[in-house]
Chain A
């Protein structure tokens, strides 16, 4: 099915007025959610918005699921029925949702230093609030931020971006409209080493085109990393400042062995 809206017009603009390589606005909120979560993050890429809460590392609910040498990671995703233009309830048993949570679990398992927390469990709960393309990308980025916010040690950030190809021109950070029409790739990179943690592609694309968009998405991941890094630093700095403003002056009795 092809839509009547031009994906990329003659002037080089996309349907929402962006250029080919332009990313959508990212907004990041790292303030606590009030649910007693150890870390949380709400992130939006344009109109796609997800909220993630991380609990743990904590005592595992089911002892059979624990590992003697590392923490178990549990990912659960809820997709709000109102998140897409077509109201649709997806249950927990939905294969697509299961696959998504499995993908996230597998992505973060080697990134989190799980061996520090034997027999514990880290729960990651994701709520998808709005969908406008790039769902996996938003979930990966928001989960990274929530994990950092919870103080869980990670080897690196994981930054994901979608990319697509319109005839021969590559586009980045696709909206739902573009995602439905174009072959698209989601790539998650670890910016420090440039290694790729996740690649998915579901539509037909020539090998040579794939290489182009794959490399491009890897680069774009580093741009996203910059934004995520800034948000994390800002939040950390705020907390540190708040603690130091009083701690130093009133801390005459503090027995600080650090």
Chain B
């Protein structure tokens, strides 16, 4: 079902406000909604919220035999699902365009940018590797689900700890979390995704983290994933209203600064959570 398009006065109201750099929810054009991270009782269970958009991410690991062409690398698979629960726009069954975009972007941001050191997931070459499953559930969509999903997925990977294993000869021993402290995953870097919406009227400045209405009335989106070390991982402007090249570079600059801020926030939240957890080592 196609959602009913906003009425002309609604559209006019939004556009005139944006022209004066005012957003309907009171934010600055380049201000993100407050990011909230809640950790579940289990390691690798994260609920991330940006405004009313909420995404749940969960990581689990199991041991599998690696495929013969990559005997030294672990496997990461990402499962994402947008259920009709998130918004009435989504149907179960056939994936919508948006779902394809989110799935592909998650794949690019988390898997293809080599976030996780896959070789560190190898236990016994050609015999045993860790298979990480990242499941992402979109709980509510009020705009910009992509950023929220990427953030949730990444924080889940950072939060997750795998049991320690010991290899003696061909023998593999898995230590229970109660006997030995589980180990964090080794990550190469942590990319964060930022989505900007731009509008058909070029006098309207691009806005960061669009809400549902802004997203629907936008002339296109540009998503930039990058880490705090100023390395871009994904830049994606798939169509939409054409932009002046300098504007694109300006947007990238904004994202660089936001990535540093977000990185600091994520690190402090993770530390807080970790401090609150008592791991008993016998």
A interface vs B, CB < 8 Å?
A: 95-96, 98-99, 102-111, 185, 189-190, 193-208, 210-211, 214-215, 218
Contact = CB atoms under 8 A, between A and B. Distances in A.
Nearest to A190: B242
B234 interface: yes
Interface residues of B, number: 38
Given A96-B104, A103-B238, A204 B233 contact: yes
B239 A204 contact: no
A98 B237 contact: no
B124 interface: no
Given A198-B239, A204-B113, A206-B231, A95 B104 contact: yes
B100 A99 contact: yes
B238 A200 contact: yes
Contact of B240 (A96, A99, A110, A185): A110
A106 B89 CA distance: 19
B112 A203 contact: yes
B245 A204 contact: no
B237 A207 contact: no
B239 to A, nearest CB: 3
Nearest to B5: A67
Closest 8 pairs between A and B when the two form their complex, measured CB to CB? A106-B239, A195-B242, A107-B239, A103-B238, A201-B235, A199-B237, A197-B242, A99-B104
Nearest to B97: A102
Contact of A102 (B101, B226, B237, B245): B101
B238 A102 contact: yes
Interface in B242-260: 242-245, 248-249, 252-253, 256
Contact of B230 (A110, A196, A207): A207
Interface in B165-190: 189
A203 B236 CA distance: 11
Given A110-B219, A207-B226, A210-B252, A196 B244 contact: yes
A91 B222 CA distance: 28
B239 A110 contact: yes
Nearest to B222: A199
9 contacts: A102-B100, A110-B241, A189-B245, A199-B222, A202-B234, A207-B232, A210-B232, A214-B245, A214-B248
Contacts of A211: 249, 252
Contacts of B232: 201, 204-207, 210
**B236, B242, B245, most chain A CB atoms within 10 A:** B242
**A105, A204, A207, most chain B CB atoms within 10 A:** A204
